[in-house]
Every structure is written in structure tokens, then in C-alpha cells.
Chain A
Amino acid sequence: MRVETVSVEAFGALEDETLELAPGMTVVFGPNESGKTTLHAATYGALCGMRRGRGQPRTEDREFADRHRPWSGAPWRVRAVVRLGDGRRIELHHDLEGRVDSRAVDLGLGRDVSDEIMFEGAPDGSRWLGFDRRSFVATACVRQAEIAHVLDNADALQDELQRAAASAGRDETAGQAIERLRAFSSESVGLDRTNSRKPLRRAIVRVQAAEAALDDANRVHADYLEALAGLDERERERDEAVERLRIAEAVLARADAEEERRQAVRATELAALYPEEPAAASGAEELANAVAKALALWESTPPEPDLSGRSVIDLENELGALPDEPDGDLAPAQPVADAHAALTAAEEESERHDATEPPPGPSAAADELHELANTLAAAPAVDEGVRKRVEELRSSLAAPAQAQRVPLAVAAVLAIAGLGAIALNASVGIAVVACAVLVAAVALWMGRRQPDAAAHEALAAAERMLREQEAAACEAEGRRETAIARLSELGVEPDLQRVRAAATQVVERAEWEKRRAELVVRRDERALTLKNELDARGVAVTDDLHAAVHAYRQSCREREDQNRLALRRPVLERRLAARRAAEADAAARAEALEALLAAARRAGVDGGEPARIAAALAEWQEQRLSELGAHDAARQEWKELQMLLDGRSPEELRAQADAAARAADEAAAGFDPALIEAGEAGIERKRIPELRNELAARSRAADGAGGQLEEMAKRVPSVAEAEEELEAAQVELARVRVLEETLNATVRFLEQAQERVHRSIAPVLRDTLRGWLPRVVVSRDGEVVAERYDDVTVDPETLSVQIRRGEGPWRNAGSLSHGTKEQIYLLLRAALAEHLTAPGERAPLILDQITAQCDRERRLAVLDLLHELSRDRQVILFTHDEGARAWAEETLDLDSGQDLLAVRDPVPVA
């Protein structure tokens, strides 16, 4: 944006005045009272206008109006023509008084564009720059007072820059805002600490107290309700106790009345029966006792016994003659009978075996006899064929032509002989046949060999065989002769059949004898068994066991007879006892009869049969008892009468009973008659004190509960009020919690935003400053020194600046000379304005009296810097500084129109 003209219709002391402005740097010079500051304000007013809204104006608006409202009373109006970054020329027209006729008009199109920049009710040209009238005046529109303030307090400029970064300079710095929030939070929320007295803690404590109070109220209320129920229960119990007592009393009154009525009736009856006291009973007690004793004795006697049959003495004699029970078997014992039968059977079998005894054989063993028979049967002999062969071979050796035929012939003979010998002796026969085969083979072989050798070999073989056969035959014959000699010794004929028959006889005899020995053993065992059985029963045993058995059987029969007699003893003993009892009964009966008769005589009862006497005595006794009973009853009733009357008359008793009946009716009044009737059966008189005690206890309990409840009712807190207090406390706590949350979130977001902005703005400011830094004139002690700084950093949080030259040490800008510091912070302001200005635009710097307090060097340095800055943006400087004027005349490019020096005369005072 570039301001071309500012026109004042009326503004402070100025009227109808237009200020032309150059696109570069314009220096408006004038002495004091020439209206420079007014023009500076008018320029701001022409650009930004004033807020238009309901309610009281802000302080700054009010002060602005007070200072710049037209002195003449003319309409407070200003105008400005500006050229925007997009090329449009706009005329801004502000009616600062009414703020109604304010507008922005696109001069190219003749269109009202006020809507684009409306802010707080009025068009605001700084909106095109991204500012508003508050932030613009704080950033790009620098007033004399602010400069003076900055000069007085170096930190103020830094603070101002921070405000610019925070809110484009409108208000506080972000840090101040955060501090303000924290302070507010500390006072309006506080911490939840035990010793804190701040709202949060107070609200929490209040809620806790309200909760406790509500709990207490609920508890007390519940106790109260429970006590109420308890009181009802106590009262109900008391009422029930009252009713139980009254019913019991009514029941007993009814019973008493009935008793009195009954006594009155009874007394009346007895009084009629016994006008006087009955006489005492008569004596005869001893007779009555004797009669009673005699009757009792008679009635206790047994019936008359039967005394027929044998006497006691007879029976005792018969018992004395009876034998004792025998000792021993009454009948033959079965083991004895079985042992005897077994012995008999063994003896009979043994006899039958002896009857089959075979004749005795030779005194040799059967095996020996069989061996002898075999020896006899064997008949070894020399094979004649062999012998003949030998002869033939011998002869063939003499006649070789025949050598072959002869052996063959010999072989044939041997074969025949051998076959024949097999029938007698197989081995011999086979041997002969084998020889025959051998001879034949030799003959055949010899036939193919030379006749002499073969014949000799055959002959040798045959001769050898012959010798062997002859030796065997000789040996067999020797054995045969030995066998025959043995047989002869045994007396057996050396016949093969007989020898074998003798062997069989020997075997049979041996078997018979073996069996016989077995039978003898068995017979002896059974005899021993029988003997043992008999011994066990005390039977004397001789060699003849059968005789012993017979004697045993005989003794058994004798003991059986004795035993039969002994068994009669118990029967006779019972008969003897019965007889003795009968005789005793008879004696007792006689004694009782005697007593009965004596009593009858004393009582004057006539005799007869004992039974009749007893009946008569019983009748006498009954009559006497009846007389005694009647007399006793009269005496008792007399006593009863005296007790009932107790000194009163029967009439008085009846009147008393009537009164009791009326009292009972009154006591029962109001109760269900059925209850009274039901109670009559079960109520005991002793229950009355118990019921009265119970009633007293119930009454005390009910009274106590009532009193307690009355006291409690005074102390029952209002549950509703406790709930209301809790709700109010909770609402307050919720409010504080929400406030706490809001403030915490606000601080958090502000810190976060501050951090982000600082992070983004720092490099922008640094780069901007770095570009301008070589233009900064460094002075020290009023003298310009040849130093130039070329590097700079900006702390994003504090916006403090540090500079250095080359690789030298960093220096805090705040520690530099005033002039150098001023230039640096002026650059920083320009950089901030640059940063905050909307893209595509450049904010003009409108400065009022910023060099007023500068010495020459500082002035030159600042003005030179501003001039440099005006190459990129419009700079408008209002000043009364002659040095500035001289600088402008010397430095500005006035001829080309890029810069402008406007010199003003003092405004005449009206």
C-alpha cells in the first residue's frame, strides 16, 4: 500500500488541507504547532477510521477524539487516496464524528468496496494490509510518545515487538497474557492442597462437607424413620399388653364371679341340710378290723386240695430205690460197629486169597530163566558154504580156467545156504548171503583181472570168514552147555518150552505172595482200629477181638436197662413236691376257716358253710362302712359350710356373688365374648402379676421411645436442604473445575501458539535483519566507528537480538550504544511489520517525531536507515527536527519525485 494523498476537511486545528505523499520517503517538516502530529493522526484516521459500536467508546478512542476533534466544530472528516498492492486506487472517506458516512471507493471502478475492510462498524484501510486499526497503530504507525517511551526504557521496545508478535501489537505480549491467566487461575481456581484457601479447594471442601452432611442427614433421617417405626411397635406392644391384661382380668373376674355364685348356692344347700353340727361316729373298730382280717385271710386261702393217692413217705421210698444213671454207652457205638465190620471183611478177603495159593516154582528169578531159554534157543554153526568156498578157491588157484566158475558156484551155494540159514538165525543167514554176494563179486572181478591175484585175495577173505564163523560157533556151544548145567541145577528140563513155563510160574508165585502180604497188613490195621475204639470205651481187650466186641455189646444192653429205671426220678420228685404243697394248703385253709368262724361268732353272724359265713361277714362289713361314710360326709359338708360362710349368712353370700357378676360383666365390656370364653379355659390367676409387669415394662418402653423420638425430631436435619447444599456445592465445584479446565487449556494453547509463532517468526526476523545489518552505523561514545556487523540472531521468545562481526563473539543488542540499538530495533519493527503484513502488500511506515531526542550521529544513522527502507516501502516522517530537514534536503531524491520534503508553517491559532 502506498498513500498518495491525505485530505483533511476538519481535524483538530486543521481544515481543508491536503497532504501529497511521495512513493518513497516523505519528510513533513514544520516547527512546533505546525500541525505535524495532527497530520500524523489525520493520516492514521484517514487510513483506518474509528470504531463504530454501541456502548461506551474505548479509552483510546475517547482520547483520540478529545485530542483531534475539529476545533472549529466543522464536520470531522478526513480522506485518503491509496494505491494497493494489486494496483487498485482507493479513496477512503471517514466521517469520524458520526461514523456513518464512512466508505471506501475503488476510484477505477467507482465501486464502494467498504465491505472488504469493515472492522468494528467502520471501514478500516489497514485491513488490506492484514492489520486492523488497533494493530496498525501499534506496528507501522509510530507515534512520538511511543518513541519517547522506547528511548526512556530500552526494554519497552522489545516488549512492544513482543506484543506485535503476539497480537500485532494490539494488546499484551503472549507471556503477559499467560502470566495474567496464571495469576487469575491462582486466585480464581487455586490448587487442591489441604492448606489452600482458594476457590477450588474451598469448593472441594464444601462438596465434601455437603456430602458428609447429606450422609449424616440421611442417616439421622433413616434413624428417625426407624425410631418412628420402633415407637409404633412399642406402642403396639404396649396396647397389646394392656389388652392381654384386661382380657385376663375380665376372664378371672368372670371366673371369680362364677365361683362366688357357686359357693353361695352351695352354702344355701348345706345350710338347709345341716341346721346343726352332725354328731361324732360310734366305736367297734377292733371287731371291724378282726372281721376284715378274717375275711382277707379266708379270701386269700387256696381252694380245698385233693389229698388222694400216694403219700409223701411212699413217694420218698420209691425215690430212694431208684438206681443212678449208668456211666457208659447205652447202645453200641457206631465207630466200634464200623471197625468191627471192617476187620471182619479184611479177614474174609485174606482167607479167600490164601485159598488161591499157586505151587512154588524153581528157585531162580524169572529173568534168569528167560535168559537161559534164549541161550538154549540160539544155535550158532559154521557156514558150510564158506567152508566150501574156501576149498573151491583153493582148488581154483590150482585151476585158473575154472577160477571164475568155481567162485560163482561157491557164491551160489553160499547164497542158498545163507537164505536157508536166515530161517534159523537171521544174522548168520544174512552173513552167509553177504559172503555169497562177495564171492560172486570177487569171482566176477577176478574174471576181469589177472586170475592169480584175484583168486588169492578171494581165498584169503573166505578163509578169514570161515575162521570167524568157526570161532563164533565154538563160543555159542560153550554158553549152551553152561545153560543146560544151570537148568539142571534148578531142576528144570533143558527144553525151551519148559524153561519158559518155569519162568512164568516164578512170576505168578511172586505176585500172589505180594498180594497176601498187603492183605495181612490191612487186617492188622483194622484190628488195631477196633482195639483202639474198644480201649476208648473201657472194654478189656484180649487177643480175641471178636469176643471183646461181643462183651461190649452185652454191657451196653445192661446199661440201657439201668438207665430206663433212673429216668423215673424227676417224675417222682414232682409228684412228691405237689403232694407236699397240697398238704400245706389244707393246713392253711383250716387255719383261715378257724379265724373266719371266730369272727362270725363275734359279729353275731350265723354259720353254715364257710362260704356263706364269709358272705355274711362281708355284708356285715359293707353295712358298717356305709354308716361310717355317711357320717364322715356330713362332717365334711359341715366343715365346708363353715368355710363358705366364713362368718356370713347365705344371703350375704348371694348378694356378694351378684356384685361380682356385675363387675365381671363390666370388665368384659368391649371385648369379643369369644375371647373371654376362650380365655376362661386357660388363664391362670398367677398370670395377672406377670401381665401387669409386662404392661409396666411395655409402657416404660413406649414412653421412652416416644420421648426419644420427640428429642430426635428436634434434631432431624432436612434431607432436602442437605441435598440442596450438596447440589449447590457441586455446581460451584463444577464451575471452578470448568474454569480450571478452561484456563489450563487456554494457557496450554497460548504457550503452544507462542512457541509456534516464535519458531516461525525468528528466522524471518533474522533474515530480514541480516539483510539490513550492514547498513547499521555503529557509534561509540558519539563517534562513528568503522565496525559493521554482519550476523544476527533473534530469540524467538524474548525477541532479544544478538549480533556479531565475522566469527567474533555474539553481543546483545541491548548492550550496544543507544543509537545502534535504536537502528536495530527500528529494523526489527520494520521486519515485524513486513512479517505481519498480508502477502502482496507493503505496509507504509508512518512516523512522528522519532528523531526528536537524537544527537546528530544517531539522527543521521536513523534517517539513512529509513531512507534505505523507503526503497521497499513508503516511509512518511513527520518531524520538527532541523537536522532532519537538512538531511532531507541533502539526501532525498526530490527531483525524481521518489521522495518528498514538505515544509509546513505554523498553524495560525484561531
Chain B
Amino acid sequence: MRIALIADVHLDSQFGLFPPELARERRHGIEEALRRAIGVAAEEAVDAVLLAGDLYEHERVAPDTGELLRSLLAEVAPLPVFVAPGNHDWLGPESLYARLEWPSNVHVFREDRLEPVELEDGLTLWGAAHRAPANTDGFLDGFRVARGGVNVALFHGSERSRLVFEHEAKMPHAPFLGEQISEAGLSHAFCGHYHTPADEPLYTYPGNPEPLTFGETGELPRGLVLAIIAADGSVERERRRVAQTEVVDVEIDVTGCVSGGDVRERVRSELAGRRGFARVTLHGELAPEVDLQLPDLERAADWMRAVVARGGVLSVGYDIEAIRVEDTVRGQFASDVLAANLPDDLKRKVVVTGLRALEGRSDLEAV
């Protein structure tokens, strides 16, 4: 049995870092990634497509998203598609799953407990749905398969031991432990929720097909997982990248730059050969005379779709220790600020701003 696993597509997601036209482009990129993932699954002639939740975001779903999904999945009929709604596309009375007339090849799991579907003789797929946006109990709690053969599961949930690898804000929806899979009599669980890919012996997280934010890490390619479920229940996986958008995080050391032009040139140099969307984080020591304007940097690499610049651990090359011992207003100011109970970042900005003001400069917004 060969299946394709896709999860965490997040159609209609929002991209607050970008201006409206680029955010729309990013959402379109998500649609395209899903289209490619489904297309690859059909080309590879898999026996079934498993969608492990968060296919779209209910609270932001656009009017045409339902038709998009319906037509996309109808195109691959009669290839069976199994959907296990997640916490973002939870199954409620207003959800697409409740109101759309899905093609006959699409099976949506509608209960918040695992229910069986026979994929083939001797192979059963157990699936479940989130029926609320939060507080869904673990699907494996107290669950035990009630039939022989090979049993695998499809659901949207949080493997507890992986929480530490996730973003702090990641909530443990429908939590479970890896060992619960085998204790329940399941050979494998195909899951969604964590965007960081994971190929563990007992479970698989495919990861989001299209980048959703900067800083997405992980050694495995994200997106589509093609898996062969053997007769003994073992799973052999192959990953395919389906995203065409490149989203990169770049750290740039601006030490030694003595002008805004220097910094701009360094950004261009670091982004050379890259494409797509980049987030640039500046760090290092800037010469005092540098007038750093982040919007200028965001226009530095015009071959990129977008550059988002931000200040990281930045310092300005004033000899603060020498200045603070001066018997002048400048020295007193530096000394007072450095001794003040202020957050480090604010303290740095106040010192730089004050020294610039004393120098008669007009670039008084320190990065």
C-alpha cells in the first residue's frame, strides 16, 4: 500500500510581515504547493492521499477556498483522499467539511474518536477529527484497535516529546506519546500539527508544504511524504519538496561598516545568489557615523521578492568607556544611561541617540 501524506497546508493563512500584495502572493504560493503535492501524489500513483489536518484556516477561510479544495480533490478521483480535520480546520457546523459536497473519493473523518476505514484487505486506517478549535483530548488515550491485520492512524495531534522543538506558542492539541501508538495496536501514525518535519519509527510529521514564516528549521525536506506500508506494518518513507518559494533567514555581521552604503552593500553581498523572501538580521558593531535605515536595506537586493530587515544584537562603535569618564555633559549622559535601570536595547538606543544628538546629527532613530 502506497500513500501520500500532506498536512499543515494552512490555506488562507496571514503573513503580517509583508505588504498586502506580497502576502497575497504568499497565500497563492500555498495553494500552488498544495496543488503540486496532490499532483505529485497522483503522478506517483499512490493508493490513497492522507490529509492530516490544518488544510485551511477556518477563521480566515476565503469564499473560494471550498471550491478550490473540492475541485482539486475531485481532479484526482477516484484516488481516495482521507481527511482528518485539525485544530485550524476543525469540523463544526460552519466548516467546509460540513457544508461542501465533497467528491465521492473524499472521505472526511467526522468523529472526535478514531474510526476505522479499510484501505485494503488486512490494512485499516483509523482517523479522527478535531471538532473544536482547542481542548481536544488525545485520540490515543484509552484507544485500542479492535481488528486484526495492519492498523495505521491519521490524525492531527501533538507528540508530547517534540513540544520542546516547537515554537513556544505551539499548543499541545490532542496530545499523545509515541509509545501510545504501539500500545494501541497501531503500526504507525500519520500526523499533522508540528510544522517541523519528523520521520520517527512510529509516526510521521510531513511539515508544512509551503513556508509559512521565517525561521522554519529542520533537517528533513518539508511537504509531501510518500510512504509504503508493508504487510508487516513497517513504513518506508520518501520526502518530496513541493514548495517553490524560497524563504531564508540571513544573519549579517555589519562590523566594520562605516556608512549606510557599506551596510547596504553587505546585505546585497550576503543575498547574492538567493531568491524569494529573505529576513535579514543585522548584528555586530556599527561605526558611530553610520546612518542605518532598515527600509533602505529592504530595497537593497532588488532581485529578491522581498527582504525584511531587522536589528539583532547591534552595537555602535562608540568608545563608551572613554566617553563615560569625560567630565562633560556627554560623559555624564553616557554614564547616567549606562547606570540606569533600563532594558539593554533601550539603553543602547538612548546612548546612541544622545551621542548623535550631541554630534549634531539628524539620524536620531537608532536601530
The chain A residues found within 8 Å of chain B, CB to CB, are: 53-56, 58, 119, 130, 164-168, 170-172, 174, 176-178, 180-181, 184, 188, 218, 221, 224-226, 228-229, 232, 713, 716, 718-721, 723-728, 731, 738-739, 741-743, 745-746, 749-750, 752-754, 756-757, 760-761, 835-836
Most chain A Cβ neighbours within 10 Å, of B256, B328, B359: B328
Q: List 7 interface pairs A-B (beta carbons < 8 Å), by A numbering.
A: A58-B289, A166-B330, A172-B358, A181-B357, A188-B364, A228-B94, A753-B330
Alpha-carbon gap, A724 to B21, bound state (A): 11
| B93 in contact (CB, < 8 A) | yes
B258: A residues at CB distance < 8 A: 53-56
Once A and B bind, how many residue pairs between them come within 8 Å at the CB atom?
A: 174
Contacting pair B354 A184 (CB below 8 A): no
B327: A residues at CB distance < 8 A: 130, 757, 760-761, 835-836
Contacting pair B360 A166 (CB below 8 A): no
Cβ contact of B364, chosen from A166, A184, A221, A229, cutoff 8 A: A184
Known A-B contacts A754-B329, A835-B327; A225 and B14 likewise in contact (beta carbons under 8 Å):
no
| Minimum distance in angstroms from B260 CB to a CB of chain A | 10
Contacting pair B336 A167 (CB below 8 A): no
| B273 in contact (CB, < 8 A) | no
Contacting pair A749 B333 (CB below 8 A): yes
Most chain A Cβ neighbours within 10 Å, of B14, B287, B327, B346: B327
Contacting pair A719 B59 (CB below 8 A): yes
Alpha-carbon gap, A414 to B313, bound state (A): 159
Q: Which residue of A lies closest to B64 (CB)?
A: A713
Q: Which residue of B lies closest to A230 (CB)?
A: B94
Most chain A Cβ neighbours within 10 Å, of B99, B340, B342, B362: B99
Contacting pair B350 A742 (CB below 8 A): yes
Contacting pair A171 B360 (CB below 8 A): yes
Cβ contact of B60, chosen from A54, A719, A731, cutoff 8 A: A719
Contacting pair A749 B330 (CB below 8 A): no
Alpha-carbon gap, A746 to B365, bound state (A): 11
Contacting pair B336 A749 (CB below 8 A): yes
Size category of the B interface is: 35 or more
B13: A residues at CB distance < 8 A: 720
Q: A174-B333, A221-B59 are in contact. List 5 more A-B contacts (CB 8 A).
A: A53-B287, A166-B330, A174-B358, A724-B23, A742-B346
Q: Which residue of A lies closest to B323 (CB)?
A: A167
Contacting pair A749 B360 (CB below 8 A): no
Q: Which residue of A lies closest to B327 (CB)?
A: A836
Contacting pair A757 B328 (CB below 8 A): yes
| B259 in contact (CB, < 8 A) | yes
| Minimum distance in angstroms from A189 CB to a CB of chain B | 10
Contacting pair A749 B350 (CB below 8 A): yes
Q: Chain B interface secondary structure, helix, strand, loop or mixed?
A: loop
| Minimum distance in angstroms from A326 CB to a CB of chain B | 100
B340: A residues at CB distance < 8 A: 749
B57: A residues at CB distance < 8 A: 720
Contacting pair B364 A720 (CB below 8 A): no
Contacting pair B27 A720 (CB below 8 A): yes
| B70 in contact (CB, < 8 A) | no
| B349 in contact (CB, < 8 A) | yes
| B142 in contact (CB, < 8 A) | no
Alpha-carbon gap, A180 to B23, bound state (A): 38
B27: A residues at CB distance < 8 A: 720
Contacting pair B360 A180 (CB below 8 A): yes
Q: Which residue of A lies closest to B353 (CB)?
A: A746
Known A-B contacts A224-B63, A721-B24; A753 and B333 likewise in contact (beta carbons under 8 Å):
yes
B365: A residues at CB distance < 8 A: 188, 739, 742
A172: B residues at CB distance < 8 A: 357-360
Q: Which residue of B lies closest to A164 (CB)?
A: B328
Alpha-carbon gap, A731 to B18, bound state (A): 12
Alpha-carbon gap, A113 to B242, bound state (A): 63
B342: A residues at CB distance < 8 A: 745
| B314 in contact (CB, < 8 A) | no
Known A-B contacts A167-B358, A228-B94, A752-B336; A836 and B99 likewise in contact (beta carbons under 8 Å):
no
Alpha-carbon gap, A180 to B356, bound state (A): 10
| Minimum distance in angstroms from B132 CB to a CB of chain A | 15
Alpha-carbon gap, A180 to B361, bound state (A): 9
Known A-B contacts A716-B62, A720-B23; A177 and B357 likewise in contact (beta carbons under 8 Å):
yes
Known A-B contacts A723-B60, A742-B346; A753 and B332 likewise in contact (beta carbons under 8 Å):
yes
| B176 in contact (CB, < 8 A) | no
Chain B positions 312-367 with a Cβ under 8 Å from a chain A Cβ: 319, 326-330, 332-333, 335-337, 340, 342, 346, 349-350, 353-354, 357-360, 362, 364-366
Alpha-carbon gap, A756 to B258, bound state (A): 33
Known A-B contacts A180-B364, A229-B93, A742-B346; A171 and B353 likewise in contact (beta carbons under 8 Å):
no
Most chain A Cβ neighbours within 10 Å, of B329, B335, B365: B329
A719: B residues at CB distance < 8 A: 12, 14, 59-60
A130: B residues at CB distance < 8 A: 326-327
Contacting pair A718 B262 (CB below 8 A): no
Contacting pair A228 B357 (CB below 8 A): no
Q: Which residue of B lies closest to A188 (CB)?
A: B365
Known A-B contacts A166-B330, A718-B62, A836-B328; A177 and B354 likewise in contact (beta carbons under 8 Å):
yes
| Minimum distance in angstroms from A129 CB to a CB of chain B | 12
Contacting pair B20 A725 (CB below 8 A): yes
| Minimum distance in angstroms from A864 CB to a CB of chain B | 29
Cβ contact of B358, chosen from A164, A166, A723, A757, cutoff 8 A: A166
